[in-house]
Amino acid sequence: MADEHYENLTMAQIYDLDSPWSVDRDFYLALAARPSMTILDLGCGTGLLCNAYAEEGHRVVGADPAAAMLEVAKKKPYGGSIQWVQATAQEFRSQDRFDLIIMTGHAFQVLIDDSDVLAALSVMQKHLATDGIAVFESRNPNVDWAKRWDYVMNIDMPAGKVKESRRMLEQKGERMTFELKYEFANETQYSRSELRFMPYSKIKELIQAAGLEVVQIYGDWDKSPFDENASEEMIFCTRRAEELDSLRT
pTM: 0.93
Lowest mean pLDDT among 24-28, 31-35, 171-175, 189-193: 189-193
For the stretch 170-199, pLDDT in tens is 999 999 999 999 998 889 999 999 999 999
Answer whether 137's CB lies under 8 Å from 233's CB: yes
Q: Enumerate residues 6+ apart whose C-beta is below 8 A from 142.
A: 199, 228, 229, 230
Q: What is the mean pLDDT of residues 67-71?
A: 94
Lowest mean pLDDT among 8-12, 19-23, 183-187: 8-12
Q: Start-end ranges of CATH 3.40.50.150 in the chain?
A: 4-140+198-248
Closest CA to 192 of 204, 208, 176, 215: 176
Pick the CATH number of 4-140+198-248 from 3.90.1570.10, 3.30.70.20, 3.40.50.150, 3.40.190.150: 3.40.50.150
Look at residue 22 in the predicted model and tell me its pLDDT: 93
CA atoms within a 13 Å half-sphere pointing along the CA-CB vector of 39: 32
Alpha-carbon span 243 to 170, nearest angstrom: 41
For the stretch 77-132, pLDDT in tens is 999 999 999 999 999 999 999 999 999 999 999 999 999 999 999 999 999 999 99
Closest CA to 242 of 150, 82, 129, 89: 129
